[in-house]
Amino acid sequence: MAKIVPSTIRHNLQSSVAFLVTVFVIAVIYFACRNGYDTSTSKWSADQNYSSESCDLFSGKWVFDNESYPLYSFNNSLITLKAEEYNASIEFYWSPLLVESNSDDPWNHRFPDPIVRAQAIYKHGRHWTDGDILVFNTYLWWIRPSSSMNTLWGSFESGNGIFKRVGMLRSYEMALKTWSDWLEIHIDRNKSQLFFMSMSPTHKWAEEWGKSSNGNCYNEQEMIEEEGYRGNGTDPRMMRIVEDTIDELKRRGLQVKLMNITQLSEYRKDGHPSIYRKQWLALSEEKLAKPTSYSDCTHWCLPGVPDVWNELLFAHIFS
């Protein structure tokens, strides 16, 4: 469950333990093989140097096979992982600005100046109503150099919509108000557990932790040790808007738990994929000569920091 992008996740509470057991079994198999188990003789070997015939789950490559044992289904913005034997499903829903926008297409969503319908959410919300556990998050896609958002009143299809440049914070506040109003009307308070994940920090400017002004997370191998460190990649004003929205929902009788993963993630400048990620476009020789120019210091390595987020979520669910 990685929230490197904004998402909604639904999960059947009764099956969480079963999933953890499955992961544990895989880990046991892997470490057993690493300690010298020979599959041809079914005997333990004291020798730590295992042969190429030993099983190593992390030395191969992924092969997509969704036919012999279909786990995933794709429906535009909705990706569903089903485990029918556990009566469970986990769904990822792509809605980067939480409300409707011109960035809602899961594949074609990169625009220099996104348009947000800050008062429209039904297109997304109809997919969330029956979730046992809902985890919301929206932050990074709101950050713009101009500090304002192109906001639309009306639909994208009609020609009579009204466009207006609105301050980013005000537009963000409007979007969370739309979200909270939708929750109050459509969520079953006796069934659904609601969570909101706080902002995920970036590490794009190495000068913030005392390194060269030309650096970023590239080649960083240790965490930041300065207690209370906060970089410019996070905006406390947006956090306060989230907190105020959740407090208002509580006064209206709807409980949403805020999962604050921001500060613990601030220290992990070493946790990003950096240059070790899929490059969607061919890199020029100039870029290749300067790794910091194409290092990804926004998303997170898996496994990695998001696993800690999941541990915290797990603790909240079963507390």
DSSP symbols for 80-116:
EEEEGGGTEEEEEE--TTSSEETT-SSSS---SS-EE
Q: What span, in angstroms and rounded, lies between the C-alpha atoms of 248 and 225?
A: 35
The pTM for the full model equals 0.78
Instruction: Note the pLDDT of residue 58.
Output: 57
Give average pLDDT by consecutive 10-residue segment, the chain, 319 residues: 37 43 36 38 39 55 65 82 86 95 88 90 94 96 89 82 92 98 95 96 96 93 96 94 98 96 98 92 93 96 94 92
- pLDDT at position 108, please? 84
Predicted confidence at residue 68, as pLDDT, reads: 66
Which helix (H) or strand (E) segment is 317 a member of?
helix 305-317
What pLDDT is stored for residue 96 in this prediction? Answer: 95
pLDDT at 5: 33
Burial of 9 (0-12, 13-18, 19+ CB in 10 A): buried
pLDDT attached to residue 91: 93
pLDDT, position 121: 97
| Cβ 151 vs Cβ 164: under 8 Å | yes
Cα(82)–Cα(239) distance, integer angstroms: 33
What is the DSSP-derived secondary structure letter of residue 297?
Answer: -
For residue 288, what pLDDT is reported? 94
Give yes or no for a contact between 229 and 160, defined as CB atoms under 8 angstroms apart: no
Cα 237 from Cα 163, distance rounded (Å): 25
pLDDT of residue 110: 82
* pLDDT for the residue 268: 98
pLDDT of residue 61: 65
Token duo for residue 78:
């909705």
Which tokens hold the place of 180?
């909270």
Strands (E), the chain: 37-38, 43-44, 72-75, 78-83, 88-93, 100-101, 115-117, 133-136, 148-153, 162-167, 193-197, 256-259
* pLDDT for the residue numbered 262: 97
What DSSP assignment string belongs to 30-54?
Answer: HHHHHTTEETTTTEE-S-S---TTS
Q: What three-state secondary structure class fits 26?
A: helix
pLDDT at 234: 93
What pLDDT score does 43 carry?
35
